[in-house]
Structure 1
Amino acid sequence: MSRGRIADSLLAGLASAVVAWPLTTLFAPNTWIRPTLVVIAMVVLAGVVGRLLTTSWIGVAASQLVGLVLVSSWLYGRGHLWHGLPTPDMVLAFNNLLVQARETIQNYAAPAPTNRGITLAIGLVIGVAAIIVDHLAVMRRSPALAGLPLLTAYLISASNSGDALNPLYFLVAAAVWLLLLGRQGIASLRRWSTTVPMSTTGRAHHDDRDGVYGYAAVGRTLAIGGLVCAVVLPLVIPHLPTRYLIDGLGRSSDATGYSDGQVGLRTTLDLTRSLESPSTSPILTYTTNAPRLTPLRVGVLNRYDGEWKPDPEDVERSRLRQVDPPADLDPSVPRETYRISVDDSRIEAPQIAAPTPVVAGDLGRVPWGIDRQTSVVSVGRTASSYSFSYLALSPTAESLAQPTTRPGGGVVPETLQVDPDSADRVSALVRQVVPRGANRIEAARAIQQYLREDGGFTYSLNVPETIRNDFGQLEKPDPISLFLRSKIGYCVQFATAMIMMSREAGIPARMGIGFLPGTANRGVYTVTGAQAHAWPELYFEGIGWLPFEPTPSGQQTTVAPPYSLAPTGDSEQTPEQSATSGPTGSATTTAANRNDPGATSAPTTTDTGSGVGSWLSDRTATIALWLGLGLLVGILGALAVPLAARNRLRRRLRHAPDDAGRVEVEWQSMVERIGDLGVIPPRGSTPRQAGRFYQREAYLEGDQSTALRRVVDGVEQSRYMRPGSGTVTDIRTDTAAVVKAVAGVRRRKDRLRATWWPTEGVTEWRERRDALTQALRQPLDRFAQWRESRRS
């Protein structure tokens, strides 16, 4: 049965199975596991039978493909078979199932639902991978090459999961591959390492004449060290961005779990759970010609019943170019038109991040439209690159000074509904904060000022769940009351509070969700997951919905729009004056914070600083730092063996009993260093015989030959002269000259090996390892002896 290579075939099948294990993180439930294991078992069985019948790798691979088709037909093609054989109808059925699998991967984030299409696709992919692994590892006896398809199968899971994979997945897969590699290596070593017939039953005697067990010990040490490094090093080196399987499973399933795949903001916001785990993963990059930046809106929420919920979609999508301004925007409102161009957007369809209101756009071949809330949406495919033209409104003080009477007409009724659970507290707070007789903009400014500065609120992602009342008892009120009493929250809580207070004051209000403007680097803005944001939008007749900013700067840097700030003098500030004023109107926009996410002014490019910070971004500096540290660690690692060799020689010289002992140490060191260069004298040679061998092999002549002669004479003198009869000659300088002369006639790779991997250094590290092992083993041995004594 040796031709079947059953053991190797089983190991190859096991390797294919374990690399499929991480797929459990991508699909749920795990009903695909059993049929996939059956497919792998069929591939292994077909491979063993094929090798028993033929020595042709084509014949074996053909038998495995036939086995794969048959078992797939039996598992997934029931109803489309003829006496157990596949029919043309089965091909059509498989096509439909694979289309279903593709749509599932494209439309779901991990973990995606496991349907028949997914089960078939996994079975076929892992089955083909098992055939390739079996061919490389068993037929071609190249388990090292078999690691490539195994790695590919593993990376499908690693690169499409929303979070980092558990290291156990990698360790198990790597261990099985190393078993394949070690088994093949030992078999090869037994074939060429000796001409003495060896027993096939293992170590019959307590010797290792063929070197197999020493080889295996070194292999195990290297394997364990490699696995440890593979798990530890990714924790300290910078991670490069990844790409995902057809823009599907790499997405995170909620708004708090950003990855390098596609993302989507929640359109149902729970006040106690949104934005708990912000991420620095890039979401999109863009350029703009706007002098003042605005948030990038993704959606709008009107209805609140303990959590924010979206309205049903109502939009006709097509490949639009021009968009009419909002119907409720009066032509007399001052405005400017600016352009934004987005690249590498990872926001999943139908969401699109864009300023508002949009008047023109280009999404390439992606259909898009404007919903009833004036948000841009796409359909079918994600728009990774697009551009929009939008209006930046500068309403006058007179147009904003509108009464707070509840308007009717086109205003959605939900935008005036106050949460009943917190209505009493909100009403009392509005009476306290909003001046009597205030118009709409005055009321909005007063509410924003109270939440942003005057009310003593604190920005924090750690939202309390309970609060103590006046009697010291813990209470868990409704989310809005909890925030107004604890005064701790983040953008969602601040925005919700302002919306409810504005509605109570008679101003229609709703929630906008999206992203802050991002950070700039050489005119290109980058928006990350941590810059997801929520803000209130208040309605003004003839103007439309205007965003406000009640959230104070915390982990997110926010700046209130100019029109939302109270005037500092007798007259209203102009937009140009407001652009350089903070929440209280003081000048706060300096060169140090112009690129802050949410800054109202676009950064200028007139900085003439010559420092590194003027042209290196924080991310580039971080990567450069890690690369520098990696280079330093690499240099120290490369010097580890040569330095150990030098340290060993110095220690041996220091511990030598006399001058003769030091000469002997120098001679042995020279022999080992020349041996590292590939010049090894016959075993048992005397110093004179070794000298003649070196002179002949290295073509030594002149001063080189004289130095070698002095070395040989010195060694013979130290070994054979009578004690006290003379002074022993120091040969250190001559040994260095001889080694240099021999290195000059050797190949470059021999010189490199001798320099960076000297035998003395390897021996030194091996002795240190053995000493450490012995030191660690002694307590265990003592404990074992103690237990044995207790038993006896």
Structure 2
Amino acid sequence: MSRGRVPESLLAGAASAVVAWPLTTLFTPNTWIRPTLAVIAVVVVVGILVRMATTSWVLVILGQLGGVVLVSGWLYGRGHLWHGLPTVDMVLTFNRLLVDARLTVQNYAAPAPTNRGIILGIGLAIAVAAIIVDHLAVMRRSPAMAGLPLLTAFLISASNSGDALNPMYFVAAGGVWLLMLGRQGISSLRRWSTTVPLSTNGRRSSDDRDGAYGYAAVGRTLAVAGLVTAVALPVVIPHLPTRYLIDGLGRSTDATGFSDGQIGLKSTLDLTRSLNNPSKAPVLTYTTNAPVLTPLRVGVLQTYANDQWRPDTPDVSYSRRPQVELPRELDDSIPRETYRLSVDDSRIEAPQIAAPTPLVSGDLDGVAWGLDRQTSVASVNRSARSYSFNYLALNPTSGALDQPVEPATGALLPPELQVDPASEPLVRQLVGEVVPEGASRIEAARAIQNYLRQSGGFSYSLQLPETVTNDFGQSERPDAISLFLRSKVGYCVQFATAMVMMARESGIPARMAIGFLPGTADRGTYTIHASDAHAWPELYFNGIGWLRFEPTPSGAQNTVAPPYSLAPTSPDSPDPSASASSTNVRPTNTRPDGANDPGAQDPTTTTGTSGKGSSFLGPQARTALLWILIGLVVGVLGSLAVPLAARARLRRRLRDAPDEATRVEVEWQSMVERLGDLGVIPPRGSTPRQAGRFFQREAYLEGEESQALVRVVDGVERSRYAPPGTTLTDVRPDTQRVVRAVAGVRRRKDRLRAAWWPSEGLLEWRERRDRVVRTVRGPWDRLRERLTDKD
């Protein structure tokens, strides 16, 4: 079986499986694990069998690729095989599945849903990685090089997770790779020639510290130290940008750390997922001349199915100077004002771009952009860091908004009028209770908004309930919209979705927009953070177009409802829409309680002035500072470990010395070791007098320091050669003076190494480690000896 290299093959397969483990943080549910493990097993088994028949690495790889194709066809291509063999139809099926996987990666933030395409994509990707690892680690006997594909596979997970990975993922992957490296190193070492005799069983003596076992012990120590350092070091260094897949899974709204990398809102919002991790990452800064701020939109969603909003295929023609036309449905009689918004340092990924609506013109500094023909959403072909837009602020009058509701008829409704079938009965019931009979379009919209925002008893929370209790006291798990309408607990996505469905049920075309709240002001400049992500409904009015409404309660977020969406308080009160252009109030976006939507809010943001009780450092900054302090304390204590061990070793040896002569010998050996740490090492086998002359010459000792060295040498010679009963003097003060004198003429790096990394301290820790190992392995060694004696 040696030609098959079974142990090395199994280790390579285990390494490929372990580096795939962190993918569980990117996709849910984990239905891809078993098929992927099966593919890895095929790579390992086929590699062993082919190597037993031939030494050609080409045939081994071809055999493994053939095995992967066959097992992939059996696992994923059922119904597209010919007597168990792949066909052209199976290739076309795989292509469609992989296209679905690519769209899933692009349209979802982690964790993305696992579908057949994702399962196939993961299986094939890990299979290719397993073949490369097997070739490098087993055929080429280069496990160090095999670490490169393993690292690449690991980085796919590490660089696309919004949260930091659990250290166990890294420890497991690093541990298996080190096992591969250690096995190859020991095998290579044993092939070297040696004068160490072999025992009767053919192995070198286990107590030979110069043999393979000694090197293996040192290697294990270094490996454990490296893993511990690699896990502990990221605590005190910044988190790098999540940019590995560029525009896919790395776009997490709950990414944290000190990264200044680009972000993007996911186009599909999972209504059942609660995003609890706060994010302080800035998205963009801007200035505007508008008296009333408006949210910035990055996308529009019209299709809702299976508790999720699904993005539609965009229809955009990109140009550096596109022809921007006003919405065709906008009547010239609608009052409007034109304002300008200038953005600096935008970190939103292409094709998304934050913009107000409707747009009049734009200058993106040479970046090609355009408007979607269906939704009028702006998009870019590459990320734009700075840009400016001119846009309209519409101020429709009550007369223009007072339009009759026209219930849609027909078997096939357009997407903007389709109500989710699962929740339609409950939505129809609520619309009948909330919307007055014979209400106009604006009256129905205002009634729905008021019900969700104020009068319906809804509360804002990121912790979504999973079940509700029915009239019989039983727990039920309805669809996502019904769950929200019955529990009355949710965040902006639930509020916006409920209003969209209730408006559609009332006969008003509606859709959901995603983007960012206006942000916080500081000296006329507004800053939007990732925590300002928001969703709101847009309703269609003839002659006007799509208008924003705000059902999310203002107490949870700093959401401000547009004036036209608010009903007059009395017949004599002025039209709220008429004052939209005259008001000079700038809505702020300060979060009162640290909540976030859909990621989190920034409780430390202000509107430009520092209120009472405000903290100089936010919670995340204080947490980071605490970890830095803890890291510094641990680092200081760790740096003192070796010097303290050296001092403890010297004190113990002096305490255990049986007589004065032994104590003098201990002091002499300690001085020689410390001078050796400084780089002054006497010739091997030197007598005390010869060593003394060497020290004096190499360290240029003169005067009192030279006399101290003479006294130390004389003391050592008397301790060794004087008759018993001779009085001996304490040489410790002189040894310390000599060490200080030698240190004074050495380089700074030599002094630092001698102070923080003394050889006596290292020897002390090595002996302590050996004692622990002997204690732990003692019972096992005794049991093995007994079993050997019985045999």
TM-score by length of 2: 0.70
Indicate how the Cα distance of structure 1 residues 729 and 297 shifts in structure 2: closer, same or farther if over 3 A, else same. same
Given the alignment, which residue of 370, 373, 376 partners 1:374?
376
- Secondary structure at the aligned position of 2:328 is classed as coil
- Secondary structure at the aligned position of 2:338 is classed as strand
**Paired position in structure 2 for 1:489:** 490
Indicate how the Cα distance of structure 1 residues 130 and 605 shifts in structure 2: closer, same or farther if over 3 A, else same. same
Q: Deviations over 1:657-683 (max 9, x none)?
A: 787776554333213212333445567
Specify the code of the residue in structure 2 equivalent to 1:355.
P
Q: Deviations over 1:398-436 (max 9, x none)?
A: 4468436315899979559796412564246426xx7x9
Report which stretch shifted further, 487-496 or 711-720: 711-720
Distance in 1 between the 2:4 and 2:52 partners? 12
Q: Deviations over 1:548-590 (max 9, x none)?
A: 22212577543333554577996567447866477xxxxx878
Q: Does the CA contact (< 8 Å) of 2:315 and 2:372 recur in 1?
A: yes
Specify the code of the residue in structure 1 equivalent to 2:490.
G
1:459 matched to 2:487? The reply is no
The root-mean-square deviation of aligned C-alpha atoms, in Å, is 5.9
Percent identical: 51
Specify the code of the residue in structure 2 equivalent to 1:296.
L
Q: Deviations over 1:127-165 (max 9, x none)?
A: 566666679855xxxx65664565346545654678877
**Paired position in structure 2 for 1:738:** 738
Q: Deviations over 1:59-100 (max 9, x none)?
A: xxxx756875798699879xxxxxxxxxxxxxxxxx999999
Given the alignment, which residue of 422, 425, 429 partners 2:426?
422
Q: Deviations over 1:157-177 (max 9, x none)?
A: 654678877767655553454
**Paired position in structure 2 for 1:634:** 635
Distance in 1 between the 2:242 and 2:374 partners? 36
Q: Does the CA contact (< 8 Å) of 2:503 and 2:510 recur in 1?
A: yes
**Paired position in structure 2 for 1:92:** none
Deviation, 1:336, is 2.2
Distance in 2 between the 1:747 and 1:555 partners? 63
1:18 matched to 2:44? The reply is no
- Secondary structure at the aligned position of 1:325 is classed as coil
**Paired position in structure 2 for 1:549:** 550
Q: Does the CA contact (< 8 Å) of 1:456 and 1:487 recur in 2?
A: yes
1:713 matched to 2:714? The reply is yes
Distance in 2 between the 1:504 and 1:612 partners? 46
TM-score by length of 1: 0.70
Matches within 5 A, 1:293-442: 293-301=293-301, 307=307, 315=315, 317-319=317-319, 321-331=322-332, 332-339=334-341, 341=343, 353-361=354-362, 368-376=370-378, 387=387, 389-395=389-395, 398-399=397-398, 402-403=401-402, 405-407=404-406, 415=417, 420-423=424-427, 425-427=429-431, 429-430=433-434
Distance in 1 between the 2:593 and 2:353 partners? 27
Q: Does the CA contact (< 8 Å) of 1:415 and 1:509 recur in 2?
A: yes
- Secondary structure at the aligned position of 1:338 is classed as strand
**Paired position in structure 1 for 2:758:** 758
Q: Does the CA contact (< 8 Å) of 1:426 and 1:504 recur in 2?
A: no
Indicate how the Cα distance of structure 1 residues 105 and 670 shifts in structure 2: closer, same or farther if over 3 A, else same. farther
Distance in 2 between the 1:477 and 1:100 partners? 32
Q: Does the CA contact (< 8 Å) of 2:520 and 2:607 recur in 1?
A: no
- Secondary structure at the aligned position of 1:113 is classed as helix
Distance in 2 between the 1:127 and 1:470 partners? 58
**Paired position in structure 2 for 1:113:** 117
Indicate how the Cα distance of structure 1 residues 11 and 163 shifts in structure 2: closer, same or farther if over 3 A, else same. farther
Report which stretch shifted further, 731-740 or 629-638: 629-638
- Secondary structure at the aligned position of 1:511 is classed as strand
Q: Deviations over 1:230-287 (max 9, x none)?
A: 44655775421143257567568xx9999989866455x665x155566749695464
**Paired position in structure 1 for 2:676:** 675
Paired residues in the alignment total: 725
Deviation, 1:223, is 1.8
**Paired position in structure 2 for 1:645:** 646
Distance in 2 between the 1:188 and 1:706 partners? 52
Q: Does the CA contact (< 8 Å) of 2:274 and 2:464 recur in 1?
A: no
Distance in 2 between the 1:44 and 1:521 partners? 68
Specify the code of the residue in structure 2 equivalent to 1:359.
V
Q: Deviations over 1:20-71 (max 9, x none)?
A: 763584995537546755886699789x95xxxxxxxxxxxxx756875798
Distance in 2 between the 1:11 and 1:549 partners? 62
Q: Deviations over 1:616-661 (max 9, x none)?
A: 8887776666555545543432332123223443455567678777
Q: Deviations over 1:206-232 (max 9, x none)?
A: 641634433322222222333344446
Deviation, 1:707, is 0.6
Specify the code of the residue in structure 2 equivalent to 1:289.
T
Indicate how the Cα distance of structure 1 residues 415 and 183 shifts in structure 2: closer, same or farther if over 3 A, else same. closer
Deviation, 1:708, is 0.8
**Paired position in structure 2 for 1:54:** none
**Paired position in structure 2 for 1:241:** 241
Matches within 5 A, 1:108-187: 108-109=104-105, 113=117, 147-148=147-148, 151-152=151-152, 154-155=154-155, 158-159=158-159, 170-171=170-171, 173-179=173-179, 181-182=181-182, 185-186=185-186
- Secondary structure at the aligned position of 1:464 is classed as coil
Q: Does the CA contact (< 8 Å) of 1:16 and 1:40 recur in 2?
A: no
Unmatched runs of 5 consecutive residues or more in structure 2: 71-90, 106-111
Deviation, 1:758, is 0.8
Distance in 2 between the 1:550 and 1:346 partners? 26
- Secondary structure at the aligned position of 2:553 is classed as coil
1:512 matched to 2:513? The reply is yes
**Paired position in structure 2 for 1:53:** none
Specify the code of the residue in structure 1 equivalent to 2:221.
T
Distance in 2 between the 1:74 and 1:501 partners? 54
Q: Does the CA contact (< 8 Å) of 2:678 and 2:743 recur in 1?
A: yes
Q: Deviations over 1:101-138 (max 9, x none)?
A: 99788545276837999988877776566666679855
- Secondary structure at the aligned position of 2:326 is classed as coil
Distance in 1 between the 2:775 and 2:209 partners? 29
Distance in 2 between the 1:197 and 1:297 partners? 78
Q: Does the CA contact (< 8 Å) of 2:8 and 2:137 recur in 1?
A: no
Q: Deviations over 1:597-621 (max 9, x none)?
A: 999xxx9997799x9988x888777
- Secondary structure at the aligned position of 1:534 is classed as strand
**Paired position in structure 2 for 1:289:** 288
Deviation, 1:477, is 6.5
Specify the code of the residue in structure 2 equivalent to 1:430.
V
Deviation, 1:323, is 1.9
Distance in 2 between the 1:282 and 1:513 partners? 18
Unmatched runs of 5 consecutive residues or more in structure 1: 50-62, 78-94, 583-587
